[in-house]
Structure 1
Amino acid sequence: MRKLFFIYALTFICALGLSAKTNSFAFLTLPYSSQAAALGGKNVSYRSGDLNFSMQNPALLTDEMHKSLALNVTSYLADINFGSVVYCHNIDTMNFLSYGVQFINYGKFTERNERDEEMGSFSANDWAMYVSYGRRLSERWTAGATLKPVFSSYESYFSFALAVDLGVSYYKRKRIFHSALP
């Protein structure tokens, strides 16, 4: 019994350590529109015609977003600014494309050595560009996919990642029911 308890405890401790690095590129989770922020920072199911929601779930792209442009800039904490630009173009009444950029600028930092002498300054930035495709499967069902190349630049360090978002949305107009799986 003790051996079994020890194995379970060790497995649990190891699992906690594995989940520590799952929040890379956390700027992608910021609410880029005021409506998304008012809904708690996330909206994965509500279809309001707001193009900004397609950044969180590409299945929310609709034909009413054709030739829509959304610009967002937020002055965050200290010198941090973040924002986004999104544009939607309908291929036809069933297929939709969206292009966009998300960014966050952490401001300028003073570089100092171990003796606290000023060595210069540097900045830190994160960027994500993306292309989203949405398709109406039926009157109630839509699906979408997003491809996001993500870049980070902190002082002289750079990183790159490729992210993919997939989503499915169900909407029943008569009962005002929204459900989605991003």
Structure 2
Amino acid sequence: MTETPNPHIINADTLTGEMRPIRRVVLALGSNLGERMSMLQGAVNAIADTPDVWVTGVSPVYETEPVDAPEGSRNYLNAVVLADTTLAANRLMDRALAIEDAFERERSEVLNAPRTLDVDLIVVGDRRSNEPHLRLPHPRAAERPFVLKPWFDLEPDASLPERGPIADLLAETGLDGITLREDLTLAVE
């Protein structure tokens, strides 16, 4: 898919003359193994340390019951990070996977297995992708209150492409199983 830069919002590389669009990115974070809060804070720091990524917002932290997870799975801590980037969506996905690996994420054949860290790309501008390794917008985001509620806290007027306003999606999903953790705060360090 060819992406055309917006001529009014660009990042011009003065050495090469290359112009890359700046896109709004929504990343969802989750952890239910180990020191969950440390994992989330580490992910926020790693995202903020990524070249060509500028964190613009970090949501409150929510504790959520695991969804369709193996019996005995611990509750998750979840948050959303908003950022602007000039990185291509594939490179951003590579970075998300590298961050997960840095926090010892173990991949499993078990659906929704517990994990030290999950970094999901929800939206990368208006980019659409149905490639097996990159699905944008995230195909299950509209059904996940642990994504929608923290995102709504940061951008109440946001819309999930092809699905509609997140406020409407959140009203459909409800808030069962999700609790605001006012005692926990993430920050860009």
TM-score interval, smaller chain: under 0.3
The two structures have a TM-score, normalised by structure 1, of 0.25
The structure that has the greater radius of gyration is 1
Q: Which structure has greater strand proportion?
A: 1
Larger RCO: 1 or 2 (CA < 8 Å, sep 6+):
2
